[in-house]
Chains A and B, each alone.
Chain A
Amino acid sequence: MIKLELQSVGVAYGHNLVVKDITFQVMPGEIVGLIGPNGSGKSTIIKAISRVISLRSGKIFLDGKDVFKIPRGDLARLLGVVPQMSILPSAFTAFEIVLMGRNPHLGLLQYESAKDMAITWQAMERTATQPLAERIVCELSGGEIQRVVIARVLAQEPKSILLDEPTANLDIRHQVEILDLIKSLCQENNLTVVIALHDLNLAAQYCDRLILINDGRVHAQGAPGEVINSRNIREVYGADGCVYPHPVNGLPAVLLKAGNSRHAKPRDTIERGVV
């Protein structure tokens, strides 16, 4: 049951200020989606919260404590991260990778106990990765690796989970399965969840709140219906008139049509528009 709070956070790579001024809060049991164009700073925010890069300005609080003052081992018991592209050592088995999630719970001289093994095995059950347990990483597909990494985060038993594009490599069935899983985990265990997502439709379907980031600043935040509207999409993505209500649940849906960018020839737009 922990709250995540960012206060006017700024992050720079060298002199290049990528994240300029980000302030938001995430409450327990809530899924917050970070959306925004490429290079807007979504991944950088995830890295800053997990203390992989240092802040130029501002503060990040997890459970009321400054993230940068929590020892790394303690932080890993509070916070688990699913990175954008998981590069895994190719000769390890999936089970060994998931077992690594238990690391923050083990001391220097400790070995995984039966309880650690059982938690690992349960995490693999929830992510449907048990059949992969004895396969080695280089034999797994992109989607399988993604599920193994999510299982590793579950084995970590954190109170808060950050996910950076968790559905990027997945087909639509696994996209929905993974996000359903995260949603139910979040509700059952009152987790604090932040997901960086490219797919605005998935973001609208699964997130309780969205934060639209543009050029390192919060452009809009609120419920999906308030954030994904024609005006915001035009201002941030430069795409016009493509937001519709979802036919089943009325949440916003973004449907693109060809010829809507600056590279389109005028003829394409007219022809397709007529058809």
Chain B
Amino acid sequence: MALEQLKPSFTGQAIPIHLPHWRSRIYGILGLLILLTVVVGFATTFGSVQIPFSAIFGTLLSKLPLVDITPTWPSTTETIILDIRLPRIILAGLVGAALAVAGATYQGLFRNPLADPYLIGVAQGASLGAVIGFLLPFNWQGMGFGLIPLLAFAGALFSVAIVYNLARVGKTLPVTTLILAGVALGALLGSVVSYLIINSGEKMHGILFWLMGSFSLSEWTEVKVVLPYIVVGVVIILLYSRSLNIMQLHEEQAQQLGINVEKVKLILLVAATLITAAAVSFVGTIGFVGIIIPHAVRLVWGPDYRFLLPLSVLTGAVFLILADLVARTALAPTEIPIGVITAICGAPFFLYLLRRKKRIVFF
């Protein structure tokens, strides 16, 4: 779209540069959208029971109004597609998108390539909440899910709120102080978590499995709870993507270009933290996605946040759906923790990109 706008410029002559990367970014978004659809379909066919594509299409179509299809497949197939596979795949996509976009946002906000969604204490806060949930002698069920996700979500938000208040100096929020406060509080909470795990006895396996992340308990309830947070958060972040570009100029220059830096910082921080906390609370602290996906996107399509953020959403979703597919099928019926898969499959691919592109500067 930007390319067509270049031609009839008001000086009467076209701008004689091609800006080829703009076109490749738009093609990238379209290509990834198609890829995402294919991957969702592909992931639905695989599992303990193989389901043909035709059954998947048929089932989905038959759920639409005004479509009348007589099922040629057993009703158990429909149950597997709709109640087991699809919610799990959709949740994996949502979490992948959330972690990737939150990672890209934190990297931009802190102007730090090492930033990931867990940098300022989200993961450790969520872990502590979850571990307390595991160790409590009772359980509570409400709205279709247990105490653990609720405590994890609360823990994540609580720890970020503490970090935020520790780092604030007057009306400003220096990012270096924020990172250091986050790392320090994270270490503190992390040690408490380690102590609790060692003394958790027979619950240790469950806790460790949660910490490495798993989609094995995904149902529509989880999707419904997580979806609004992630959609709202991602939309807010996308609205501020031009501001995020300009914040790369350092704060004084951003202010002089009309950005209300402190306000934008707070909005982005809250949005990114909410989507990370929502993602983490149900499926555990899945590592690697938030740091590697945005960098892989930067390597291929460049640093402009207006494209980096939507491309990260799609790439993160595709990546985590595929990783979860491996996690549940590779050693079936045993499930591999997804955090293990993301690193084992993701790291070599990222290193390949890094070497093949040989681009020294991409952040």
Does A156 make an interface contact (CB < 8 A)? yes
Contact A114 B6 (CB under 8 A): yes
- The digit string for A115-126, where 1 denotes a CB below 8 A from any CB of B, is 101100110000
Does B2 make an interface contact (CB < 8 A)? yes
Does A96 make an interface contact (CB < 8 A)? yes
Given A88-B249, A108-B240, 14 more pairs with CB closer than 8 A: A51-B255, A73-B258, A73-B260, A76-B257, A80-B256, A81-B256, A88-B248, A89-B303, A92-B248, A101-B257, A104-B258, A118-B9, A122-B11, A156-B257
A72 to B264, CA, bound (A): 12
CB < 8 Å: which of B17, B242, B253, B257 contacts A95?
B17
Chain A CB within 10 Å — which of B8, B17, B258 has the most? B258
Contact A50 B6 (CB under 8 A): no
Contact B255 A50 (CB under 8 A): yes
Contact A83 B5 (CB under 8 A): no
Contact A95 B19 (CB under 8 A): yes
**What interface size band does chain A fall in?**
35 or more
Contact A121 B303 (CB under 8 A): no
Does B250 make an interface contact (CB < 8 A)? yes
Contact A96 B255 (CB under 8 A): no
11 A–B contact pairs at CB < 8 A?
A: A72-B260, A73-B258, A74-B258, A75-B258, A86-B253, A91-B298, A92-B304, A95-B19, A112-B2, A117-B9, A133-B17
A73 to B298, CA, bound (A): 29
In the bound complex, residues from chain A placing their C-beta under 8 Å from that of B245 are 92, 96, 100
A51 to B19, CA, bound (A): 34
- The digit string for B181-199, where 1 denotes a CB below 8 A from any CB of A, is 0000000000000000000
Contact B361 A136 (CB under 8 A): yes
Chain A CB within 10 Å — which of B17, B256, B302, B360 has the most? B256
A75 to B256, CA, bound (A): 8
Q: Is the interface of B mostly helix, strand, loop or mixed?
A: loop
B295 to chain A, nearest CB (A): 11
Contact A103 B17 (CB under 8 A): no
Contact A72 B363 (CB under 8 A): no
Does B259 make an interface contact (CB < 8 A)? yes
Contact A118 B246 (CB under 8 A): no
Closest to B242 in A: A103
A219 to B45, CA, bound (A): 81
CB < 8 Å: which of A52, A100, A114, A138 contacts B246?
A100
Does B140 make an interface contact (CB < 8 A)? no
Contact A114 B258 (CB under 8 A): no
In the bound complex, residues from chain B placing their C-beta under 8 Å from that of A79 are 256
Chain B: interface residue total (CB-CB under 8 A): 38
Closest to B11 in A: A118
In the bound complex, residues from chain B placing their C-beta under 8 Å from that of A112 are 2, 5
A265 to chain B, nearest CB (A): 43
Contact A100 B363 (CB under 8 A): no
A112 to B9, CA, bound (A): 12
Does B362 make an interface contact (CB < 8 A)? yes
B199 to chain A, nearest CB (A): 47
- The digit string for B1-39, where 1 denotes a CB below 8 A from any CB of A, is 110011111110001010100000000000000000000
Given contacts A91-B363, A95-B17, A122-B11, contact A113 B5 (CB under 8 A): yes
Given contacts A90-B361, A122-B11, contact A109 B253 (CB under 8 A): no
Contact A77 B2 (CB under 8 A): no
A108 to B5, CA, bound (A): 19
Contact B361 A121 (CB under 8 A): no
In the bound complex, residues from chain A placing their C-beta under 8 Å from that of B256 are 50, 52, 76, 79-81, 83
In the bound complex, residues from chain A placing their C-beta under 8 Å from that of B1 are 111
User: Could you tell me which residues of chain A, from 127 to 146, have a CB within 8 Å of some CB in chain B?
Assistant: 133-134, 136, 138
Does A20 make an interface contact (CB < 8 A)? no
A87 to B252, CA, bound (A): 10
A77 to chain B, nearest CB (A): 7
A97 to B257, CA, bound (A): 12
In the bound complex, residues from chain B placing their C-beta under 8 Å from that of A17 are none
Contact B361 A91 (CB under 8 A): yes
Does B239 make an interface contact (CB < 8 A)? yes
A164 to chain B, nearest CB (A): 10
In the bound complex, residues from chain B placing their C-beta under 8 Å from that of A97 are 249
User: Could you tell me which residues of chain A, from 57 to 97, have a CB within 8 Å of some CB in chain B?
Assistant: 72-77, 79-81, 83, 86-92, 95-97
Does A106 make an interface contact (CB < 8 A)? yes
CB < 8 Å: which of B2, B240, B252, B303 contacts A83?
B252
